[in-house]
């Protein structure tokens, strides 16, 4: 042990005599720290920006300490004859190499602690919850990259050659590890290449510990790879060690520089196929953006509970609404926040669409949507968020793909509106929903039978189906009670089966949405225990029935947008396609052309459906007057009912029907959030709620069309780059 301690002491004394060592270990990281702090923090390096800067500076520091510190210094010591002097003493290469690795660790660790302290005391970044996990990961990385540097020193024949080898390793790891440029921003090929670089796992590990408070076990790929590299690298460096420059190694020995990266070669091959690390990098980059602290001030705030703040401010921190100010807020610098001026704008909760069909594109389907439902549904969710809609409820999509979207996309790797996945349609043989796939290929019809509809033949079978869907993870149940109309009749579900569905849904804690066609359907649904009535009725709904809905707390989701679309189809009108927001979210100009042609030909069965927007508006107005709780849904996905723009049109139609602007906005925020079961975190501008908000130009309480004049969309604290939503892979 004495030789090790003596060598470490000597190395430390020599290191502190060298200005270059002090500069690159302490001054150089601080230059990056403050420079990036000012740049990323936009002149006010807020605590949230530190969550990107600190991992960056740590990775840069460890790369420099390991590769340059060990890789060049050892060559210099060999060329100047220092190592030759050790050769005549009774000492092996192992103590020399071990002392070098420990010295590098002791030199770098204070620098990392200094960066963390400055981030906390100067910029207000909280101390990491898992400080010991972070320090242990940093220590492992110090040893691993020091080992790589020592192998470079062993195989290089000169300082110049070692510098070339180090640059070959250093530059890709600096630029492609996520330290300086987020991995999610790199080209697809570079994202894959990054999975083979040890610095990528170091950067990801540091971010996960700091952002998600995860321990070493949760970061086992990073820990295992760095530990293996330190051990393998140390062993290889001892075997290749040279006491003096006259000793030569064959050229093939330079391959050992890359052999030490074998653990990351294995990880890279695995990640190329699984893409887990790429997706994790995207999630972490999103977490960084969501932790940005903003103060939005001088705005009209529609709270969502009936109150309005004429000139208030919001503090957004850690993805949440940290404070709501009803008057002049503190200075942004005092809050370590970036100030966002919002004079002349309105902040309201992000909108919610409680009735959508994600697998349908609102226009003609060329068949590809059926075979790549995931892509079609992701685009629909992106269109919704682009339009300021932060959550949607699917009430008629293929169940498997819907639940897969919830599992995969809810993590943050993909950015779109939050999906509350409903189950398949409960309907009767020959009932509404069964006609949709009659002309589809047999394979699609079979899939629809498994994933799109449920056709219970008895109450007991209906109950078991509800229980099975609950186990699969659905968040609501949809049933159809509609006999159709002359020319388009449907088999109506037996009321006893509807009651069984409702009873089991209540037992499983699932809201029941019931599609209705007339007042009798509504009466049966209310009596059975529906949570919401979808569409309403073609005939006037009796006042007593609205009174019963109010008493039982049954929500009314009128979906006026789809009724208007049906009328437009019937009359071959295409003005809905000219709306600006529709043109912005449409998949392509050709799609709009094909949709226009479809409407003008009148080749859609729904065009023959005798819906009256005027009658549905009248029912909505009377429901509001009766005190029924209103929730906004659009039936988006149906022809001319575009995902995203539809909810804005829905609000406009509500106001035209006689519903006040404030009540309409509550229907698309607070009331809809409660119906979807997310009202404890979404739907209000309230302290502690998710910062999922819509900022618009103007006052939608006076002119509800102002909701379409979108200034910005904020989703869980992240200011959304709206156009980038459609470029996601």
In a domain, 319, yes or no: no
Structure-model confidence comparison of residues 77 and 340, the more confident one: 340
Domain that holds residue 174: 2-290
Q: Are residue 504 and residue 578 in the same domain, yes or no? A: yes
Q: Is residue 296 part of a domain?
A: no
The larger pLDDT score, comparing residue 385 to residue 281, is at: 385
Indicate the range of 35-39, 692-696, 722-726 predicted with least confidence: 35-39
Pairing mode, if any, of strands 693-697 and 710-715? antiparallel
- Note the pLDDT tens digit of each residue in 330-339: 998 888 888 9
Q: What span, in angstroms and rounded, lies between the C-alpha atoms of 106 and 658?
A: 73
Give residue-wise pLDDT tens across range 425-464: 999 998 888 887 776 667 777 777 788 999 999 999 999 9
Residues 364 and 477 in one domain: yes
User: Does 487 share its domain with 395?
Assistant: yes
In a domain, 317, yes or no: no
Using pLDDT thresholds of 50, 70 and 90, give the confidence band for residue 563. Answer: very high
86-90, 101-105, 220-224, 574-578 — most confident range: 574-578
Q: What is the C-alpha separation between 323 and 315, in angstroms, rounded?
A: 5
Under DSSP, the state recorded for 728 is -
pLDDT in tens, 244-301: 766 776 666 666 666 777 777 777 777 777 677 777 777 777 888 888 889 999 999 9
Q: pLDDT averaged over the chain? A: 86
If one compares 707 and 32, the residue with the highest pLDDT of the two is 707
**Tell me, what's the pLDDT at 43?**
45
Pair 391, 516 in one domain: yes
Q: How many residues does the chain have?
A: 729
| End residue of a domain, out of 290, 316, 331 | 290
Average pLDDT, integer, range 88-101 = 74
Alpha-carbon distance 403 to 48, whole Å? 32
685 found inside a domain: yes
Instruction: Using alpha carbons, list the distances in angstroms from residue 213 to 127, 131, 207, 316.
Output: 11, 9, 9, 20
Q: Is residue 596 part of a domain?
A: yes
Q: Which residues contact 403 (CB under 8 A, 6 or more apart)?
A: 421, 472, 473, 474
In tens, the pLDDT along 4-26 reads 677 677 666 766 666 666 676 67
For 522-552, the pLDDT digits (tens) are 999 999 999 999 999 999 999 999 999 999 9
The closest alpha carbon to 82, from 10, 20, 161, belongs to 10
- pLDDT score of 14: 66
**Parallel/antiparallel/unpaired status of strands 294-302 and 555-557:** unpaired
Q: Rounded to whole angstroms, how far apart are CA atoms 412 and 61?
A: 29
Same domain for 245 and 377: no
The answer to whether residue 12 sits within a structural domain is yes
Q: Do both 367 and 464 map to the same domain?
A: yes
**Higher per-residue confidence, 633 vs 41:** 633
Q: DSSP string covering 285-315, please?
A: HHHHHHT--EEEEEEEEE-SSS-EEEEEEEE
Calpha distance 649→653 (Å, rounded): 6
Confidence of residue 318 (pLDDT cuts 50, 70, 90): confident
**Residue 37 C-alpha from the chain's centroid:** 25
- Reading phi first (left if > 0) and then psi (alpha if -120 to 50, else beta), residue 94 is in alpha
Are both 543 and 616 inside the same structural domain? yes
Strands in 318-461 per DSSP E: 320-325, 338-341, 345-349, 351-356, 389-394, 418-426, 453-454
Q: How confident is the model over 384-409, as a mean pLDDT?
A: 91
pLDDT tens digits, one per residue of 139-180: 999 999 888 888 888 877 778 888 888 888 888 888 888 878
The residue among 625 and 123 whose pLDDT is bigger is 625
CB under 8 A, 24+ apart: contacts of 128-133: 128/209, 128/210, 128/213, 129/213, 130/209, 130/213, 130/214, 130/215, 133/209, 133/214, 133/215, 133/216, 133/219
The residue written with tokens 């600006």 in the block is: 580
Identify the pLDDT of residue 219. 84
Phi then psi dihedrals of residue 195, to 5 deg:
-70, -10
Together in a domain, 373 and 268: no
Domain count, the chain: 2
Kindly report the number of other CB atoms within 10 A of residue 592's CB atom.
18
pLDDT band at 604 (very low <50, low <70, confident <90, very high): low
The domain that holds 711 is classified in CATH as 3.20.20.140
In a domain, 717, yes or no: yes
Number of other CB atoms surrounding residue 215 within 10 Å: 17
Backbone angles phi, psi at 247, to 5 degrees: -70, 130
Alpha-carbon distance of 419 to 312, in angstroms, equals: 30
**Residue 45 reports pLDDT greater than 50:** no
Count Cα atoms within 13 angstroms, Cβ side, for 547: 3
* Lowest mean pLDDT across 131-135, 231-235, 256-260, 613-617: 256-260
d(CA 152, CA 133): 29
Strands 418-426 vs 476-481: parallel, antiparallel or unpaired: parallel
Whether residue 542 is found in the same domain as residue 467: yes
Last residue of a domain, one of 244, 260, 290: 290
pLDDT of residue 309: 97
- Confidence grade of residue 410 (pLDDT, cut at 50, 70, 90): low
Model confidence at 369, pLDDT cuts 50, 70, 90, reads very low
pLDDT of residue 257: 63
Same domain, 692 and 601: yes
Q: How far apart are CA 363 and CA 375, in angstroms?
A: 16
Residue ending a domain, choose from 246, 263, 290: 290
- Same domain, yes or no, for 257 and 375? no
Q: How large is the average pLDDT for residues 504-530?
A: 96
pLDDT digits (tens, 9 = 90+) for 650-686: 999 999 999 999 999 999 999 999 999 999 999 999 9
Element (H, E) at 476: strand 476-481
Distance CA 240, CA 247 (A): 11
Which pLDDT score is estimated for 311? 95
Reported as type and span, the H/E element at residue 165 is helix 159-176
3-state helix, strand, coil in the chain (%, to 5): 55, 15, 30
Select the more confidently predicted residue: 20 or 626: 626
Q: Is 302 inside any structural domain?
A: no
Percent of residues, the chain, with pLDDT higher than 90: 47
Dihedral over Cα of 332, 337, 342, 348: its sign: negative
Whether 281 and 397 map to the same domain: the answer is: no
For residue range 321-360, list pLDDT tens digits in order. 999 999 899 998 888 888 999 999 999 999 999 999 998 8
Pick the more confident residue, 101 or 465.
465
Best CA proximity match to 478, nearest among 647, 639, 670, 635: 635
């Amino acid at each position: 042990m004495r030789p090790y301690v003596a060598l470490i002491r000597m190395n430390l004394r020599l290191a502190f005599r060298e200005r270059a060592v002090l500069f690159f270990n302490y001054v150089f990281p601080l230059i990056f720290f403050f420079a990036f702090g000012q740049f990323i923090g936009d002149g006010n390096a807020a605590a949230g920006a530190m969550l990107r800067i600190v991992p960056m500076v740590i990775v840069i520091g460890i790369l420099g300490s390991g590769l340059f510190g060990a890789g060049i210094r050892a060559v210099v010591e060999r060329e100047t004859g220092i190592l030759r002097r050790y050769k005549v003493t009774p000492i092996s290469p192992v103590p020399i190499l071990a002392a070098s690795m420990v010295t590098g660790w002791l030199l770098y660790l204070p620098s990392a602690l200094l960066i963390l302290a400055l981030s906390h005391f100067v910029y207000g970044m909280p101390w990491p919850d898992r400080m010991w996990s972070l320090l242990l990961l940093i220590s492992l990385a110090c040893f691993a990259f020091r080992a790589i540097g020592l192998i470079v020193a062993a195989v290089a024949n000169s300082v110049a050659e070692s510098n070339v080898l180090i640059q070959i390793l250093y530059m890709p790891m600096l630029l492609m590890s996520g330290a300086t440029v987020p991995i999610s921003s790199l080209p697809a090929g570079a994202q894959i290449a990054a999975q083979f670089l040890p610095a990528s796992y170091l950067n990801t590990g540091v971010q996960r510990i700091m952002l998600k408070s995860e321990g070493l076990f949760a970061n086992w790929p990073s820990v295992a790879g760095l530990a293996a590299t330190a051990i393998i690298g140390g062993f290889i460096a001892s075997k290749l060690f040279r006491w003096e420059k006259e000793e030569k190694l064959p050229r093939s020995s330079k391959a050992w520089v890359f052999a030490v990266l074998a653990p990351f070669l294995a990880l890279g091959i695995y990640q190329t196929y699984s893409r887990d690390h790429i997706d994790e990098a995207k999630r972490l980059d999103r977490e960084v953006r969501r932790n940005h602290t903003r103060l939005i001030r001088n705005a009209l705030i529609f709270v969502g509970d009936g109150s309005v703040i004429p000139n208030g401010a919001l503090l957004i921190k850690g993805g949440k609404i940290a404070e709501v100010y009803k008057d002049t807020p503190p200075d942004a610098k005092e809050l370590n926040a970036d100030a966002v001026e919002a004079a002349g704008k309105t902040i309201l909760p992000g909108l919610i669409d409680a009735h959508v069909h994600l697998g349908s594109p609102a226009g003609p389907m060329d068949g590809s949507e059926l075979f790549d439902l995931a892509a079609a549904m992701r685009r629909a969710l992106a269109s919704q968020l682009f339009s300021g809609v932060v959550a949607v409820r699917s009430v008629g999509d293929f169940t498997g793909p819907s639940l897969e979207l919830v599992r995969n996309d809810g993590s943050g790797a993909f950015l779109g509106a939050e999906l509350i996945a409903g189950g398949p349609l409960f309907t009767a043989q020959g009932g509404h929903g069964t006609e949709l796939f009659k002309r589809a290929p047999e394979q699609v019809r079979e899939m629809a039978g498994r994933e799109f509809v449920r056709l219970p033949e008895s109450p007991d079978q209906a109950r078991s189906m509800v229980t099975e869907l609950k186990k699969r993870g659905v968040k609501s149940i949809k049933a159809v009670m509609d006999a159709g109309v002359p020319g388009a009749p449907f088999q109506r579900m037996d009321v006893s089966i509807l009651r069984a569905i409702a009873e089991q849904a209540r037992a499983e804690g699932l809201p029941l949405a019931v599609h209705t066609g007339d007042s009798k359907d509504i009466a049966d649904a209310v009596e059975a225990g529906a949570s919401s009535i979808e569409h309403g009725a073609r005939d006037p709904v009796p006042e007593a029935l609205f009174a019963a809905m109010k008493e039982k707390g049954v929500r009314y989701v009128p979906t006026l947008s789809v009724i208007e679309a049906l009328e437009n189809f019937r009359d071959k009108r295409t003005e809905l396609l000219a709306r600006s927001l529709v043109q912005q979210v449409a998949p392509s100009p050709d799609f709009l052309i094909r949709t226009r042609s479809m409407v003008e030909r009148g080749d859609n069965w729904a065009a023959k459906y005798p819906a009256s927007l005027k009658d549905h508006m009248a029912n909505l107005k009377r429901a509001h007057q009766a005190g029924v709780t209103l929730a906004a849904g659009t039936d988006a996905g149906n022809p001319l009912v575009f995902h995203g723009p539809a909810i804005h049109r829905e609000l406009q139609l509500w106001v035209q029907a006689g519903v006040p602007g404030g009540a309409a906005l509550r229907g698309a925020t607070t009331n809809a959030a409660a119906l979807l079961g997310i009202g404890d975190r979404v739907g209000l501008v309230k302290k502690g709620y998710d910062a999922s908000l819509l900022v618009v130009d103007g006052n939608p309480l006076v002119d509800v069309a102002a909701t379409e004049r979108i200034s910005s969309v904020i989703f869980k604290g992240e200011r959304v780059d709206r156009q980038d939503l459609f470029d996601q892979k």
